[in-house]
Structure 1
Amino acid sequence: MNDTPGWASPGSAPSDGQQPGTSGAQSPEQPSDQGSARQPQPPTTWSKEQPPPGQWTAPLPQDPRQAPPPPPPPPGPGWGGGRPPAGPGGYGGRGWGGPGQGFGGSSGWGGWGPPPAAKPGVIPLRPLGVGEILDGAVSTMRAHWRTVLGISLVVAVFTEISAILLQGFALDDSASTQTLNDPSASAREVGRALGDVTLSTGAISLVVLLGTIVVTGLLTTVTSRAVLGRPVSAAEAWRDARPQMAKLFALTFLLVLMGAAIVVGGTLPGILIAVAGSPGAGAPLAVLGGLGGVVVALWLLVRFSLASPALMLEKQGIGASMRRSAKLVRGSWWRVFGIRALAQVIAVIIGWIIVIPFAVLAGAFSDGGLGSLVNGTGSPGWTFLIVSGIGSVIARMLTFPVTAGVTVLLYIDQRIRREALDLDLARAAGVPGHGSDGHGTVPGS
């Protein structure tokens, strides 16, 4: 062990009158009656300022009639005395606090770190972890359940009613399904059936997308207020989101069309080669081009994934919000992708848990039973559409807040990490010590 004053440990300090640098055990060659004064003393590097002898000896049982011994004098400035210096933030003072106080004794880490982050709302005002972002989305739904679930329920009901009406009156997929299951169908019939199924799927997806845009715009406002700990009604959320709603529709459709165009552009060369008479070379090229297009489209969509909260909260235009998202995501693409993918996986699992039992129940009460729907020999009737639609409404009511809330909180987290938005949020929330009476505004929100 290094015996310099700064590295000596408390257990190695001399006690009971021993001199530093000597050992308590006598050497066999040294007689016991020889005094230490006649022996040459080796040089010592201990600190000259040492505690009095016996300071580190174990306390002996004390007679209750005797007065307690006086406290030992304070240690010297070095650590060689066996005890670190006392004082706020040090190991000798508040550095080792009581239970529940951490290393600081009162708060923080021994006075070294910052105090705990303020939490006026559903998240602490500091950079967030993945679990905190997911918990913030769920906490928003739990704290403001009337507004959140009310908005989600209304939008989900309108979305599902529109989809049921389309499937029941305008989009009859029974003939297309039978054609696709018929091995003797011609190529033209299969192509026409595929076109009908694609049109039906696209129409329903468009209806769901419109509902998703509306609920995203409204829940963005609700989540931003929940971060500040302020309640908001559905009417207030609509009043705040309505001026930006048209831009949000345009932004969402632009991103969808951009991704579709990139994927189609990647597969188009292979398709043209296959149509020209070289299917052996065109098919692999189309597959590779499609995969490349999917990768590029995914990269761009994640890059612009924070554009919708930037548009709604910062009241910017479409192009400015896309540039804002690109700036916030730069250097954090994988993190943003991972968190959003995790939120989507959770939403899909929740949706399946709710939708599958309703679908099985609907199939059991439909014409021909569940087996006819699985084999493609039957057609879904109104009973199937209505019962399965109820399950879809419940699933969307619970999953809309999760996906929308994660997107907004991820946007706020990126701004906290890059722009210290937590200070502005604390001032806007009226947190003591941030120079605000609670009526300030947050830039960009």
Structure 2
Amino acid sequence: MSDTPGWASPGSPAPQDHGSGQDDRPPADPAPQQPPAGHPAQPQGWTTAPPPQGPPGWGTTPPGGPQQTWGAPQPGWGQGQAGWGQGQNGGWGGWRGWHPHLFVAKPGVIPLRPLGVGEILDGAVTTARTHWRTVLTVALGIAVITQLISTLAMHYWLGDSDGLAALEDNPNPTDAEIRDALADLFAFTSITGLITLLGTVLATAMLTMVVGRAVLGRSVTIGEAWQDSRSRLPRLLGLVLLVPLAAGLAVGIPVLLAALTGSPGLTAAVAIAGIVFAIWLWISSSLAAPALILERQGVVASLRRSFKLVRGSWWRVFGITLLSVLLITVVGGIMEIPTSLIAGWVSGDGGGNPFEASSTDLSSWAYLVVSGIGAVISSTLTLPISAGVTALLYIDQRIRREALDIELARSAGVSPSGTPES
């Protein structure tokens, strides 16, 4: 983003891909802080905060922590130097009990270091809680609009569908009646699916911008989120359409060809292989949306970035993504199942059994309004979690691969060790 330096990668040297999910980041250290006036400069390799005075051999943690958190160990601190290294009779014994993660910067919702699974989930929730005005307003507004259109379409379209009415009244429908019912159902699902897709794209773009600011400890208004994300919406829509289309063609064509051979075993094997490929493609491209929005990449370039960031960490990204999907499903179910039962009871014929489809008018206003309220609440809660987890997972992979934490700390005005920059 133009106002949050540190995201864009074009024009900078491409990071080397080590093909590993470990912390294979380059040993690039930020410039050490300058000593205060009146004090001599420290020798090269020493920290600006020397150990306190004390008897040799003590393992006391020096105050202030090291100034260089992520870089390789500097000479003179734990590499066999007399008086300072581990294993020497004198010195400080390598500061036993100290861990660099205790002294990292946290200007916003996450610490600027490689994140754990819990920290990614907590960061998504913290973003929604800290910036609730923007996050919940965006999610609620989009959920209300999409659900309103879906409710109107279901009442007026499916409620007046002759094909569906014929299926309901006739236990033995003709082929023409079945075709009419399927055509009406396909038209309805296409309209509601398109509206939901557009709403999801808009929510993803705006909420990803909010997460990008929240990591740096900066607030963002709805107007700012819209201003920063609106130019990315067409490309994001193209990305969201391209990935399922590519997966569908890559899976559907081989399955169709296998089915033409007349071999059920071959068709089943190709179908299973296609499902595995679709899952692999889904995870490999899962970080393309944050790359497109935050780095201002194109569709193809963002896909390349996602494949590069996921490579070597596929199983980790898969596990975190699957966990977030399960969490979203549980939260959504908690909100929607009770309201659906209430809607079925309210709209049933004379208070009939809501579990029986024959006693519930699914196109009645009572059913649609009550169930729609549950859907709106569910979307309002789950959209920020989904967008937040994806954006933070993207940031975590860049921290692990490209030392993004150093650039983010510089953008936030702090050093990677957590002290303000002068």
TM-score (norm 2): 0.72
Q: Helix, strand or coil: the match of 1:231?
A: coil
Alignment deviations for residues 35-85 of structure 1 (CA, whole Å, 9 cap, x no partner): xxxxxxxxxxxxxxxxxxxxxxxxxxxxxxxxxxxxxxxxxxxxxxxxxxx
Q: Please give the alpha-carbon distance, in whole angstroms, between the structure 2 residues aligned to 1:228 and 1:182.
A: 62
Could you say which residue in structure 1 is the equivalent of 2:214? 226
Q: Which has the higher contact order (CA 8 A, sep 6+)?
A: 2
Alignment of 1:113-192 (within 5 A): 113=100, 116-172=103-159, 176=164, 179=167, 184-185=172-173, 189-190=177-178
Q: Distance in 2 between matches of 1:339 and 1:174?
A: 45
Work out the CA distance in 2 between the residues paired with 1:153 and 1:336.
28
Q: Is the 8 A contact 1:303 1:326 kept in 2?
A: yes
For residue 338 of structure 1, the aligned residue among 319, 326, 329 is 319
Aligned residue for 1:371, secondary structure, equals coil
Please, what is the CA RMSD of the aligned residues? 3.3
The match for 1:243 among 226, 231, 237 is: 231
CA distance in structure 2 between the aligned counterparts of 1:244 and 1:89, rounded to whole angstroms: 61
Cα distance in 2 for residues equivalent to 1:299 and 1:174: 42
CA displacement, residues 175-226 of structure 1 (integer Å, 9 cap, x when unaligned):
5487389764456655654554444334322221211110000000000100
Q: Is the 8 A contact 1:88 1:95 kept in 2?
A: no
**Does the CA contact (< 8 Å) of 2:207 and 2:384 recur in 1?**
yes
CA distance in 1, matches of 2:268, 2:140: 40
Range with greater deviation from structure 2 (189-198 or 380-389): 189-198
Q: 1:258 aligns with which of 246, 257, 268?
A: 246
Partner letter of residue 401 of structure 1? P
Could you tell me how far apart the structure 1 residues matched to 2:154 and 2:400 are?
46
1:92 aligns with 2:73: no
Shift in Å at residue 328 of structure 1? 0.4
Q: In structure 2, what is the equivalent of residue 394 of structure 1?
A: 377
Distance 2:273 2:115 in 1: 33
Q: Does the 8 A contact of 2:239 with 2:299 survive in 1?
A: yes
Which of 406, 413, 426 is matched with 2:396 structurally? Answer: 413
- Are the aligned partners of 1:427 and 1:435 in contact in 2 as well (CA < 8 Å)? no
Partner Cα separation in structure 2 for residue 112 and residue 377 of structure 1 = 64
Structure 1 residue corresponding to 2:387, chosen from 379, 401, 404: 404
Aligned identity (percent) is 45
1:40 is matched with none
1:313 is matched with which residue?
Answer: 294
Any idea what the Cα deviations from partners look like across 1:374-413, whole Å, max 9, x if unmatched?
A: 3346531111111110110010000000000000000000
The 1:375/1:367 distance shift into structure 2, 3 A limit, reads closer
Secondary structure of 1:230's aligned partner = coil
User: Which residue, 334, 340, 353 being the options, matches 1:353?
Assistant: 334
> Is the alpha carbon distance of 1:345 and 1:93 closer, same or farther for their aligned partners in structure 2, counting shifts above 3 Å?
closer
What is the aligned length?
339
Among 213, 232, 238, which residue is 2:201 paired with? 213
Distance 1:433 1:129 in 2: 18
Please identify the structure whose Cα radius of gyration is greater.
1
Residue identity matched to 2:390: T
Deviation at 1:117, TM superposition (A): 1.2
Moved more, 183-192 or 347-356: 183-192
8 Å CA contact 1:228, 1:428 repeated in 2: yes
Counterpart Cα distance in 2 of 1:187 and 1:290: 29
